[in-house]
Chains A and B, each alone.
Chain A
Amino acid sequence: DAGVTQSPTHLIKTRGQQVTLRCSPKSGHDTVSWYQQALGQGPQFIFQYYEEEERQRGNFPDRFSGHQFPNYSSELNVNALLLGDSALYLCASGTDQETQYFGPGTRLLVL
């Protein structure tokens, strides 16, 4: 049984570009959350998806958007990339009865 998977593992972009990151939740999980982890910091909550809708959102600008598909997988999109968007982006899945399990993350570098 695969856990949470994310793609790609690493990505390099330049300022102003757009990026899409992907996440497949653990089997049986219907809730997907996205976190941004800057170097030397704990993860910061971006938003959470449940039943294909954004259920909660953290303190991130509208440049950060997402989507959840009927199979519960999810995408994180970031527009107009800034240097400060360089970070490890983590996806976590769970259910309303089970806590969150994290994927390995996507390392994004913005030049």
Chain B
Amino acid sequence: GQQLNQSPQSMFIQEGEDVSMNCTSSSIFNTWLWYKQDPGEGPVLLIALYKAGELTSNGRLTAQFGITRKDSFLNISASIPSDVGIYFCAGSRWSGGSNYKLTFGKGTLLTVNP
């Protein structure tokens, strides 16, 4: 099935460093979402973006909805050990709620060295 192009595949950083990951698509999405998944758990919603150009923050996390509606990025500032996990981007063609399926990227594995 279709998946979004998410990069990088993995990152290994030192505690306190900033992190950036992004997601691109060949087609337009009207909603972009970022999830974090810990081993053996389901994805947990971090940030939801509903409007092209929108920049949204959630604590140390900042995400942007690309102007072309074909991309999004997630930044994590001042990383801490509990940021370890797999980060997924997801796109929906519905603007807002759960009326449409989500298409996911393959994920970015983040490792933080204390």
Contact = CB atoms under 8 A, between A and B. Distances in A.
B67 interface: no
A96 B99 contact: yes
Given A42-B3, A42-B88, A56 B100 contact: yes
A105 B40 CA distance: 8
Nearest to A107: B40
Contacts of A41: 3, 106-107
B31 interface: yes
B28 interface: no
Interface size, A (range):
20 to 34
Interface residues of B, number: 29
Interface stretch (A11-19, A43-51, A69-77, A78-86): A43-51
B34 to A, nearest CB: 11
A97 B101 contact: no
Majority DSSP secondary structure for residues of A touching B: strand
Given A59-B1, A90-B43, A105-B42, A45 B103 contact: yes
Given A4-B42, A101-B45, A58 B98 contact: no
Given A43-B102, A44-B1, A99 B41 contact: no
A66 interface: no
Contacts, number: 82
Interface of A: 4, 29, 31, 33, 35, 40-45, 48, 56, 58-59, 90, 92-105, 107
A59 B33 CA distance: 22
A89 B43 CA distance: 12
Interface of B: 1, 3-4, 6, 31, 33, 35, 40-45, 48, 88, 90, 92, 96-107
Given A92-B98, A95-B98, 13 more contacts: A31-B97, A33-B98, A42-B104, A43-B102, A45-B102, A48-B98, A92-B102, A94-B97, A99-B98, A100-B98, A102-B43, A103-B42, A107-B40
A56 B40 CA distance: 27
A104 B40 CA distance: 7
